[in-house]
């Protein structure tokens, strides 16, 4: 079973052919997908996609780019929305100091709100981190000391030190099409050292199309290219990579019932 752990099916890039995109994913062997919420105003659409498709789950959360618009967000609001049957995680949330589309202090405040929601409801936290290694490590460790929670370092491209700090907290890691990029040798070195039983795969579509599809709109149907890259990096067969990533997905997202 192939599972795309991070798709953005509500994105405008899929507005004209979402049904066809989903059909192509199934034809490519992608049996399950997790579609991601980036801001609460989009959550009704994200949830509706998951509720309409038996092989799609969803998350609820606010991307760090959007944090400036959610300064009054409380953990209880996220916990309440997460009660939906198809909602299996909190996020995508985190810190992005590359674009700084929201002030850093506001990003940290909204991230803390999401951590508190994950701690309260027991669902895993989907974490976005870019060029924020020191703050990310400190925030995760401080919160985890107060109350442990499950977390996923999504599309991980940060430095080895943050990966080690997150792994010490029991974090899972997801591998994206970036692993196939020629210039991503540093990313591949980190992937080679990730905990073998806590790695899953994603496309992050419509972004980050893997080689040989790079430059195109990304789709879940391209996930086999990501899996093949992971298998090569870890020295696994394709069957072993598929089995390991599927098992890791269901151990992390345990609200998503395994068929």
The pLDDT tens digits for 37-62 are 999 999 999 999 999 999 999 999 99
pLDDT tens readout for residues 142-196: 999 999 999 999 999 999 999 999 999 999 999 999 999 999 999 999 999 999 9
Task: State yes or no: cis peptide before 141, omega within 30 of 0.
Answer: no
Q: What are the pLDDT digits (tens) for 113-157?
A: 999 999 999 999 999 999 999 999 999 999 999 999 999 999 999
pLDDT tens, residue by residue, 222-243: 999 999 999 999 999 999 999 9
DSSP classification of residue 150: -
Give the pLDDT of residue 154. 98
Phi, psi of 128 (to 5 degrees): -105, 130
Q: Is the peptide bond before 206 cis (omega within 30 degrees of 0)?
A: yes
Q: Residue 137 has what pLDDT?
A: 98
Residues 85-89 have a mean pLDDT of 98
The H-or-E segment that residue 55 falls in is none
Mean pLDDT (whole number) for 76-96: 98
Cα separation, 18 vs 113, in Å, equals: 32
Q: What is the pLDDT of residue 211?
A: 98
Residue 10, both tokens: 């509500």
Give the closest residue to 152 by CA, choosing from 59, 51, 237.
Answer: 59
**Alpha-carbon span 5 to 249, nearest angstrom:** 8
Token representation of residue 65: 């780019």
Instruction: Please tell me the CATH code under which domain 2-252 is placed.
Output: 3.20.20.140
- pLDDT score, position 133: 98
Q: What is the pLDDT averaged over residues 68-91?
A: 98
Bridge partners (DSSP) of residue 153 are: 127, 173
Comparing C-alpha atoms, which of 192, 202, 195 is closest to residue 225? 202
pLDDT band at 259 (very low <50, low <70, confident <90, very high): confident
pLDDT for 257? 87
Please provide residue 32's backbone torsions phi and psi, each rounded to the nearest 5 degrees: -145, 150
DSSP string, 220-258: GGGHHHHHHHHHHHHT--HHHHHHHHHHHHHHHSTTS--
Largest interatomic CA distance in the chain = 48
Rounded to the nearest 10 degrees, the angle between the axes of helix 104-121 and helix 133-146 is: 30
Instruction: Report the pLDDT value the prediction gives residue 127, as an integer from 0 to 100.
Output: 99
Residue pLDDT, tens place only, 101-110: 999 999 999 9
Per-residue pLDDT of 17-27, as tens digits, reads 999 999 999 99
H or E element at residue 160: helix 160-168
Q: How far is CA 30 from CA 4, 179, 191, in A?
A: 7, 19, 22
Which pLDDT score, from 0 to 100, does residue 109 have? 98
The pair of three-digit structure tokens given for residue 146, joined into one six-digit string: 């107060």
Beta bridge partners of residue 57, listed in sequence order = 34
Domain boundaries, the chain: 2-252
**Alpha carbon distance 174, 213 (integer Å):** 19
């Amino acid at each position: 079973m192939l599972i795309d752990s991070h798709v953005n099916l509500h994105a405008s890039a899929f507005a004209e052919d979402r049904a066809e995109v989903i059909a192509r994913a199934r034809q490519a062997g992608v049996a399950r997908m997790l579609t991601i919420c980036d801001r609460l105003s989009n959550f009704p659409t994200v949830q509706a996609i998951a509720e309409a498709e038996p092989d799609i789950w969803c998350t609820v959360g606010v991307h760090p780019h959007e944090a400036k618009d959610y300064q009054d967000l409380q953990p209880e609001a996220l916990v309440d929305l997460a009660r939906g049957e198809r909602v299996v995680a909190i996020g995508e949330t985190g810190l992005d100091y590359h674009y700084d589309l929201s002030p850093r202090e506001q990003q940290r405040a909204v991230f803390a709100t999401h951590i508190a929601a994950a701690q309260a409801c027991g669902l895993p936290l989907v974490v976005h981190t870019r060029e924020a290694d020191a703050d990310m490590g400190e925030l995760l460790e401080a919160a985890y000391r107060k109350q442990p929670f499950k977390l996923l370092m999504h599309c991980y491209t940060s430095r080895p030190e943050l990966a080690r700090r997150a792994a010490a907290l029991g974090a899972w890691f997801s591998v994206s099409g970036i692993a196939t990029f020629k210039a991503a040798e540093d990313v591949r070195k980190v992937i080679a050292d990730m905990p073998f039983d806590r790695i899953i795969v994603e496309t992050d579509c419509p972004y980050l199309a893997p080689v040989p599809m790079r430059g195109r709109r990304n789709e879940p149907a391209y996930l086999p290219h990501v899996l093949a890259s992971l298998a090569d990096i870890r020295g696994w067969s394709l069957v072993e990579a598929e089995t390991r990533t599927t098992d890791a997905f269901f151990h992390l997202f345990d609200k998503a019932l395994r068929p």
